[in-house]
Structure 1
Amino acid sequence: MEQFDELELTQKIYQLLVIEEIYLQPGLTVGEFAKKLGVQARIVTQILDNLYGHSFKELTNMYRIEYAKERIEEGFLDSYTLEALGQEAGFSSRTTFFNVFKKEIGICPSEYWKKYLAQAA
């Protein structure tokens, strides 16, 4: 079995996700992510499941939705479309962005924006 340092790998995962925001790359695969970490994809899958209890896709989508929420709250939608927000957050299509947003937050992005504006007023 291939040797790797779990703590070091955990730190690298944090670095890529939180500091470098690699999840913003549209079409990012677990294979590409693993290559950046210098390990096989199955190891990344195993670590993410153990650490976060989520698959790579679930985890990147969660980070993308948090990013989108922050951008909404910063006023991104005052100047840009929801499609532009989805693209900037790393989603490859409007449909995927809307579906994942609704699954994670419980409402669609435009409803979230309206609620945010109403609370901010």
Structure 2
Amino acid sequence: MGNIFHKLRKEEKEECLAAIEFFTNSKKLFLNKDLCLAQLSEETGITVHKISYLINAEFGLNFNDYINLKRIQYLIENLNEPMLKDLSIEKISSACGFGSRTSCFRAFRKHKGTSLSNFLNRISKI
């Protein structure tokens, strides 16, 4: 069975990707630990299959990796903000949308090539 989405016009791809990015980032949907493709589809009005295809084709990621990267980016950008600064790693993980400390650690190592603990230790010395 061929993929029906590979024939999308460039403009349509760009519009859909912009909507995916807009809703994911502006509404901080990634902070919801239970976020799934169906919810993003509901927010954007784009079908689940089209979202999945576009994230995979354009970013080379599956949906979970895409969302976890958003969470990691948020964690890194907000680490020194009062809302995260004095929290335990467990609470930081939760505040950034991860379901558990373990899932945060796993995603961080996968996408950043180092453990969250090592990363936190390095930046605390700066």
Shorter-chain TM-score bucket reads: 0.7 to 0.9
Per-residue Cα deviation, 1:23-54 (whole angstroms, up to 9, x for no partner): 11111111111121112211111111122111
- The answer for the alignment partner of 1:35 in structure 2 is 42
Per-residue Cα deviation, 1:71-94 (whole angstroms, up to 9, x for no partner): 224466542111111001100111
Contact kept, 8 Å, 1:73 with 1:116, in 2: the verdict is no
Query: What are the equivalent positions in structure 2 for 1:62-81 lying under 5 Å apart?
Result: 62-74=69-81, 78-81=85-88
C-alpha distance in 1 between matches for 2:73 and 2:14: 25
- The answer for the alignment partner of 1:100 in structure 2 is 107
- Structure 1: give runs of 5+ residues left out of the alignment: none
Segments of 4+ in structure 1 off by > 4 A? Answer: 1-4, 75-78
**RMSD across aligned C-alpha pairs, in angstroms?**
2.3
Aligned pair 1:56/2:63, yes or no? Answer: yes
Contact kept, 8 Å, 1:86 with 1:93, in 2: the verdict is yes
If the length of structure 2 is used for normalisation, what is the TM-score? Answer: 0.81
If the length of structure 1 is used for normalisation, what is the TM-score? Answer: 0.84
Identical columns (%): 21
Aligned residue type for 2:75:
A
- Structure 2: give runs of 5+ residues left out of the alignment: none
